[in-house]
Amino acid sequence: MRRASAFALSLVALGLLFALAHPDAAGQPVRKKSGIDRRVPWTTSKVIGSPEPPPPYKTERVFTKLKFEEPLDMTYAPGTNRLFVAERWGKIWSFVNKNDVAKADLALEIKPGTDSKGMPMKRIIYGFTLHPKFKDNGHIYVTWIPNPEKEGNPKGTRVSRFTMKGEPPVADLASEKVIIEWPNGGHNGGCLKFGPDGMLYIVTGDGSGIADELVIGQDLSSILAKMLRIDVDNLGGERRGVSPTWNYSVPKDNPFINTPRARPEVWAYGLRQLWRFSFDRESGDIWGGEVGQDLWEMVYRIAKGGNYGWSVMEGTHPFRPERKKGPTPILTPAVEHSHSDFRSITGGFIYQGKRLKELRQYYVYGDFDTGRIWAFLPGYSRSDPQPTTPVKPLFHRELSRTTHRIITWTEDADGELYYVDFTGGGIHQLVKDDKKDESAKFPRKLSETGIFASVKDHVVAPGVIPYSVNAQLWGDHAVKERFIAIPGNGQIGFDEITYPQPSPGSTPGWRFPDGAVLVKTFLMDMERGNPKSRKRLETRLLHFQQFPGTQEYGDQYWRGYTYKWNDEQTDAVLVDEKGLDLPLKIKVGDGFVQQNYRIPSRAECTLCHTNAHKFALGVATMQMNRDHIYVEPGKDAIRDGSVVANQLATLEHIGLFTKPLPEPPDKLPRLADYDDQAQSIEARARSYLHSNCAHCHIKWGGGNAEFKLLATLPLVEMGIVNVPPAHGNFKIDGAKLLVPGHPDKSILLHRMKITELGRMPHIGSRVVHDSAVRVVAEWIKGMKE
């Protein structure tokens, strides 16, 4: 009851006629078919646009008739007018470089095989490149993994050469020549390109998932965590250490060719996972985007013999400083982004095209997780061939914000730049955006948003609707109050958003009207467990903007903003885009604990509110299909009465949906309340994982592991039972993602219990959710071995 009274609203301010009834003798709410009698439009919204000036560029899709299935890499064919795209699961396509091209031609398909037990083995392509003399020899070089499910296979990742013939070109699979192999693991590298010197450059990744478990980054005796430089045209060169079955030699001017115990192929080292590198077509410089681990993403200019610090350093920051360093000095990045902006960098190119003249000589790159695109002008003397001092960027700026999973960048033959969207399967380019700057109009105070009639009293404006969810996202002990604000007479399309598909277990999302705002206020008991000590910390807004097109073309854009409450609890001020750490002193028992509460950055909001999980995590059928206590506005629930009604039925009753519900709420799916001990332990554990983890651990969700934690999937299809962890076993003998009957060996549970490196969830929480840990542990313990 006390929790229900938090939703008490002023009748005059709200303007809603709730279906009210007096309580019974016990003060219990009375059940009704609807908690609201009729809808009143919300007409006071001031949440328009963005508080930041618009980026100077927008993006547009090109080659609009083409769509690829999980594309991973793209390049052009030297000497031809063709572009090539590699799909994740073993296919490479080519097409003519014309914007109206109608179809792509299958150029290569590495078909799935079977293992010794007859089980199917997937084939993953990580990258590919074409020989500079492709027009004459038809050679294509592909980094691929024959069986990615078998971690640590010494020959698990390989570069193979195939020969293509004909027009359109098609690869002869029988022409395969294995160039080089290395063990597969959590980071497999895979990017490869020919340099202007004719040598083939390859990056390998550190072969592990957490903290360079192999301690290989600074070890020159291994080819893992390195950039390699080899000669695939001249096999008469240096062959020391080269397998007789591999088809390359080592250039004699490689930097470590005479270093004892060093692999002679190494060109640069200390690279965790250089995700896409490129050559500046004018200077020949190598630039790459290095995916960091805990806090930072980096851009490096890769020098001959360069040491980029992993895993002693993460960019310019100590990571494991006690580890042994390599023989050359650690070089610094040209640019670093904290994880409040970037989460998984995708390296780009120095732009040398003609279409966007103002960007010439700029390094353009993006981020897979946040969809942001940035650029900088390298600040160094172009006559300095191998700088060992920091390369300071000039004019570093954000170019565009997208909802795409930017997986790779490419140039065409003319130096024009494109990027590929992993989820949507489309190819895109930057275009100038002359949108007028109206950022000054965006409300800087919560009282200016038009959401609240009285911010001080936390009374919402007429037409703003309270709601609750079945399975809450853990907020480090925070209590939450939630509201839906739909402008005017706008309506919601029930379960109309299905993109992206196919995604096993993914549930449809609601289609919101332009200008919709989802509101959530976070409160904290400053004395743990005492509601009277409760204090408002922040109010988060998730603001929806409708763009032209369809859901496949990115017509939805959600922006997250948060307002920090003042000490007087009278108003809240917009936090800047970097977010904020808020130190709290919480009374627990007879003592106090210090809690470093995180108010998220704008970019961090996008990491949970993902396209793959339909953006609006709580305002969705499985979360909203529950009873909610509606309180007479301005009244107390216990003293004056309240109504309990199903939320979906209520929203249908007031006409908030564009169509009637397809079935009564009791026949529609719902999550369990994981704190409700009347529910089965499996339902509680699965619902917790669904609400707290599945927005990343879903196909295309951004989590870099293959398993899925959706409650809608059968356990056997989640990919967690007795599956080896891809990102480290944390020194647990016999560890698997989930070991039935053994919580102590289950990495899924272990990562929920820790607060240091490897914690899950890796954003949005810094405090262990003890009750959830007990629920998941009990679920695992009760499984049959």
CA distance 558 to 605: 9
Residues 579, 670: contact at Cβ < 8 Å?
no
Beta-carbon contacts of 774 under 8 Å, excluding residues fewer than 6 positions away, are none
CA distance 89 to 93: 12
Closest CA to 40 of 365, 548, 453: 453
CA distance 606 to 368: 11
Q: Stretch 65-83: mean pLDDT, rounded?
A: 96
544-564, pLDDT tens digit by residue?
Answer: 988 766 777 667 778 899 999
How confident is the model at residue 339, as a pLDDT? Answer: 81
pTM higher than the cut 0.85: no
Confidence at 625, pLDDT banded by 50, 70, 90? very high
Whether residue 177 is predicted with pLDDT greater than 80 in this model: the reply is: yes
Residues 584, 611: contact at Cβ < 8 Å?
no
Confidence at 380, pLDDT banded by 50, 70, 90? low
Over pLDDT 70: what percentage of the chain?
90
DSSP state of 725: P
Over pLDDT 90: what percentage of the chain?
75
- Residue 137's φ and ψ, nearest 5 degrees, are -105, -15
CA distance 728 to 707: 15
Whether residue 6 is predicted with pLDDT greater than 80 in this model: the reply is: no
15-54, pLDDT tens digit by residue?
Answer: 333 443 333 434 688 899 999 999 999 999 999 989 999 9
Residues 276, 348: contact at Cβ < 8 Å?
yes
DSSP state of 270: -
Q: How many residues does the chain have?
A: 785
Does residue 139 or residue 642 have the better pLDDT?
139
How confident is the model at residue 298, as a pLDDT? Answer: 96
The 3-state DSSP class for residue 182 equals: strand
Determine which helix (DSSP H) or strand (DSSP E) holds 629, and give its type and residue range: strand 627-631
How confident is the model at residue 165, as a pLDDT? Answer: 97
Q: Stretch 234-257: mean pLDDT, rounded?
A: 83
Radius of gyration, alpha carbons of the chain: 28
How confident is the model at residue 116, as a pLDDT? Answer: 64
Residue ranges with strand state E in 166-307: 170-182, 192-194, 200-203, 226-230, 266-269, 274-279, 286-290, 296-302
474-494, pLDDT tens digit by residue?
Answer: 999 999 999 999 999 999 999
CA distance 107 to 84: 8
How confident is the model at residue 385, as a pLDDT? Answer: 53
CA distance 103 to 370: 30
Q: Tokens 């908690």 belong to which residue?
A: 35
Q: Stretch 630-654: mean pLDDT, rounded?
A: 82
CA distance 693 to 718: 13
The chain-wide mean pLDDT, for the chain, equals 90
Q: How many CB atoms lie within 10 A of CB 280?
A: 19
How confident is the model at residue 241, as a pLDDT? Answer: 67
For the purposes of burial, counting CB atoms within 10 Å of the CB of 339, is it exposed (0-12), middle (13-18) or buried (19 or more)? Answer: buried
The tokens for 680 are: 């089965």
How confident is the model at residue 382, as a pLDDT? Answer: 54
Determine which helix (DSSP H) or strand (DSSP E) holds 35, and give its type and residue range: none
Amino acid type, 225: A
Q: Tokens 């009639």 belong to which residue?
A: 453
Whether residue 252 is predicted with pLDDT greater than 50 in this model: the reply is: yes
Determine which helix (DSSP H) or strand (DSSP E) holds 231, and give its type and residue range: none
Q: Stretch 145-173: mean pLDDT, rounded?
A: 86
CA distance 766 to 280: 41
How confident is the model at residue 21, as a pLDDT? Answer: 36
Amino acid type, 10: S
708-724, pLDDT tens digit by residue?
Answer: 999 999 999 999 999 99
The 3-state DSSP class for residue 75 equals: strand
Confidence at 677, pLDDT banded by 50, 70, 90? very high
| Residue 220 region by backbone torsions, left for phi larger than 0, else alpha for psi between -120 and 50, else beta | alpha
Whether residue 633 is predicted with pLDDT greater than 70 in this model: the reply is: no
How confident is the model at residue 639, as a pLDDT? Answer: 64
Q: Stretch 572-589: mean pLDDT, rounded?
A: 95
How confident is the model at residue 603, as a pLDDT? Answer: 84
652-670, pLDDT tens digit by residue?
Answer: 999 999 999 999 999 999 9
For residue 268, the Cα-to-chain-centroid distance in whole angstroms is 28
For the purposes of burial, counting CB atoms within 10 Å of the CB of 78, is it exposed (0-12), middle (13-18) or buried (19 or more)? Answer: middle
CA distance 264 to 271: 17
Residues 760, 749: contact at Cβ < 8 Å?
no
How confident is the model at residue 612, as a pLDDT? Answer: 84
Confidence at 10, pLDDT banded by 50, 70, 90? very low
CA distance 778 to 785: 14
Q: How far is CA 580 from CA 53, 536, 604, in A?
A: 21, 15, 11
Closest CA to 71 of 84, 59, 88: 88
Closest CA to 276 of 395, 417, 79: 417
CA distance 333 to 336: 7
- Residue 13's φ and ψ, nearest 5 degrees, are -70, -40
Whether residue 341 is predicted with pLDDT greater than 90 in this model: the reply is: no
Residues 721, 740: contact at Cβ < 8 Å?
yes
The 3-state DSSP class for residue 561 equals: strand
